[in-house]
């Protein structure tokens, strides 16, 4: 029985190996990938998928942007081209096994921001999970590995910086965030992150220098806008805080914390009419909480002053 089992297992393994290579044949296809200006792109992942057998494999382009896929079977193939920083492209081609296939020439379009490939996405998810588990050194190692293999994925330096930031290693966090600005000098997220490192180091004026570089209109997250406004507010810089709180409320009209702080800011700036209008808006959203009672008290006081 043992002999039969071993033979059956051997047969299973053999069948598995044959099945795993069913896309293989005697054909060959090659190509070159460039950017829109015709410059060769190295490190493009070329994924070849044999439609008939629903299997495939991947190769990468060399320094000249060239790639070769040998030992293929004839038939319909899907070919994907992926590189960080470029819009992916998919084509469908009919390839010959016993005839010469024409060279495939592809130009990829450079885009702003980070386009995440499947491979990078898998690694990012692993790193983010480690980060959520507060395993910051392990998470950082994953992010740094992605960057080593994909230098164009520079926005991931923010993940590296966040690991250092969580460990209160603010100097190293700043260095990581600066890597983003080397590639993208106007990156809003990186400038805010650097400002946050100075704020947490107790260097508020330096933090304000970095926050001052940011155009508030380019910040999409109302919570980020609110947080910066609160730093200004707590430092007694009410005019600056006003700009951020106004923008936060503009982004999210039901953001009660921002509405409340906006009202307080108007109050500190002695803009009583605007404070009344803001607090009244607050009560339409939150009429019954303990903070609503404070707002009502503010309104009673302000209306006596008008």
Give residue 21's pLDDT band: very low, low, confident or very high (50, 70, 90).
low
Q: How confident is the model at residue 297 (pLDDT cuts 50, 70, 90)?
A: very high
Task: Report the alpha-carbon angle 145-149-151, nearest 5.
Answer: 105
Closest CA to 147 of 66, 237, 208, 85: 85
pLDDT at 134 over 90: yes
The Cα–Cα gap between 295 and 262 comes to 12
pTM as predicted: 0.65
- What pLDDT, on the 0 to 100 scale, is given for residue 64? 97
Mean pLDDT of the chain: 88
Note the pLDDT tens digit of each residue in 192-209: 999 999 999 999 999 999
- Considering the chain, tell me which residue range(s) the CATH 1.25.40.10 domain(s) occupy: 113-214, 218-306
CATH 1.25.40.10 assigned to 218-306: yes
Cα–Cα distance for residue pair 110/268, rounded to 1 Å:
48
- Options 2.60.40.10, 3.90.1300.10, 1.10.10.10, 1.10.150.390; CATH of 22-108: 2.60.40.10
Reply yes or no on domain 113-214 having CATH 1.25.40.10: yes
Q: What is the pLDDT of residue 20?
A: 53
């Amino acid at each position: 029985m043992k002999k039969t089992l071993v033979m059956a297992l051997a047969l299973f393994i053999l069948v598995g190996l044959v099945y795993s290579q069913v896309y293989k044949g005697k054909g060959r296809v090659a190509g070159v990938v460039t950017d829109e200006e015709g410059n060769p792109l190295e490190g493009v992942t070329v994924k070849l998928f044999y439609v008939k057998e629903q299997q495939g494999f991947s190769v990468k382009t060399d320094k000249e942007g060239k790639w070769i896929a040998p030992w293929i079977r004839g038939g319909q193939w899907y070919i994907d081209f992926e590189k960080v920083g470029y819009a992916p492209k998919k084509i469908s081609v009919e390839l010959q096994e016993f005839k010469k296939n024409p060279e495939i020439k592809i130009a990829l379009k450079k885009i702003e921001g980070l386009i995440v490939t499947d491979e990078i996405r898998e690694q990012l998810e692993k790193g983010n999970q480690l980060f959520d588990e507060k395993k910051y050194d392990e998470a950082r190692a994953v992010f740094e590995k992605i960057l080593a293999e994909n230098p164009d994925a520079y926005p991931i330096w923010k993940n590296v910086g966040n690991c250092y930031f969580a460990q209160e290693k603010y100097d190293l966090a700043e260095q990581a965030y600066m890597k983003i600005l080397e590639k993208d000098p106007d990156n809003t997220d990186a400038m805010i992150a650097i400002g946050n490192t100075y704020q947490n180091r107790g260097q508020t004026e330096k933090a304000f220098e970095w926050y001052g570089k940011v155009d508030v209109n380019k910040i999409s997250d109302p919570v980020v806008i609110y947080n910066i406004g609160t730093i200004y507010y707590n430092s007694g810089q009410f005019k600056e805080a006003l700009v951020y709180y106004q923008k936060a409320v503009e982004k999210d009209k039901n953001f009660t914390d921002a509405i409340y702080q906006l009202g307080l800011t108007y109050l500190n700036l002695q803009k009583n009419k605007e404070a009344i209008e803001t607090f009244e808006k607050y009560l339409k959203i939150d009429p019954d909480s303990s903070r609503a009672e404070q707002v009502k008290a503010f309104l009673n006081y302000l209306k006596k002053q008008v």
